[in-house]
Chains A and B, each alone.
Chain A
């Protein structure tokens, strides 16, 4: 359990692609690079789920990725936050009725924030991420009291 004083620590991101077209992934990469530079808010992209606090998920969840997504979610320590990036991660559109797609990310794991757009603009992801940091800190304080 993370105590409330640790929320001064920067949250780290884990990015996972569950079947997206790469469009939103590119915009996440654009976020990490000089023009948008999300690192000034303390976010660093980490590949290890055990180090991550915020999960950035892109793409509709395909049946093969479903199991892996649940696995990653379970490995991420509490309190954690899930951000669904893009239209297809939010509700599965335009792939919602494809035979190998379960639907949006919220069909598989609970989602805290949805980012609209196909593909979502970096500004929109940045907005979600900044809101996410606040939500994460509140979450930590709430769970610390219990």
Chain B
């Protein structure tokens, strides 16, 4: 670059929860190029996950703390496909409820993070206050705030009680008006609109070219949602939803997608609570796994895919994970050029980067 100079952004930065590095080429106030550098969080998870198929589901939760239950669920789903068992409706619906609860915590975290990055501390605190209600709810149900460890291959490790399901409903009744109030703030607030409208534009074509998934692609007008493939509980009768998408492709659209999905998640949990019936919560599986299978779910950041190949022993041949953040973060190099330097933080946060998923 003849004119620009290079500004390093990260790995330790106020706007990032996790370490990753952006090398920005800046000309006066305008960013003209961006280079990504990650791997600070690489622990070698794919190798560790292949050591013992029974312990893998607990270690899979430790790939990422924000979408831990999605990781455990998609692993169990993949193994169930390999064993060829169909799990009960009760187990499917409990998984759906917990997955949507985790989507609530994750999206509220992302929204709070966006608010904090633009300097809107008040809204940040409000998002996190409501998020704490959901965190305590999942703590009461599973015993853990971050890692739930509720799954087993073939269903659930332990059944949930009637009182716990009533607790979910009561908590949601209490939280829903607050979510609606937050949605109204995000829709109407002038500060958010001024800071987010037209910033970090990702066109529909770029979104396809960079293979983005989840709220990042839905913010660019692609109604792509893995939940539409009716995996697990989403295919059951009585569970209805439509993917939320916005056409604009800027940070504001991505924020609105997340905000609307928070309200949608409450609705989905209510539908699941209406459908849930007594029944077996676990289907026994026999022997060591053999063969290959894949499974995918819609994690809060987008499509999460697991591929497993087993050889009839307790060790797995190969386990491959394709995490949503890994494909969303490189799209930053399409969003950042042309923006002002001060907007880089909010653009980065608007794709909800999850570096522990990316590097694993």
A residues bordering B, Cβ < 8 Å? 16-27, 29-30, 33-35, 47, 49, 59-60, 62, 64-65, 68, 72, 94-95, 97-101, 118-119, 121
Contacts and interface: CB of A to CB of B under 8 A. Distances in A.
Nearest to A72: B12
Nearest to B127: A33
A56 B19 CA distance: 14
Nearest to B48: A98
Contact count band on B: 35 or more
B43 A19 contact: yes
B23 interface: no
B19 A65 contact: yes
A60 B44 CA distance: 12
Contact of A23 (B40, B48, B68, B355): B68
27 contacts: A17-B355, A19-B43, A19-B359, A21-B63, A22-B64, A23-B62, A26-B109, A27-B146, A30-B128, A30-B132, A33-B112, A33-B128, A34-B132, A35-B129, A35-B132, A60-B43, A62-B40, A62-B43, A64-B39, A68-B40, A95-B48, A98-B48, A100-B43, A101-B44, A118-B62, A118-B147, A119-B144
Given A16-B12, A24-B65, 4 more contacts: A34-B132, A68-B40, A97-B48, A98-B43
B146 A23 contact: yes
A37 B44 CA distance: 35
Contacts of A30: 128, 132, 135
Contacts, number: 117
Contacts of B124: 33
B129 A17 contact: no
A29 B43 contact: no
Given A30-B132, A101-B43, A68 B68 contact: no
A16 B128 contact: no
B134 to A, nearest CB: 11
B66 interface: yes
Contacts of B48: 94-95, 97-98
A24 B61 CA distance: 13
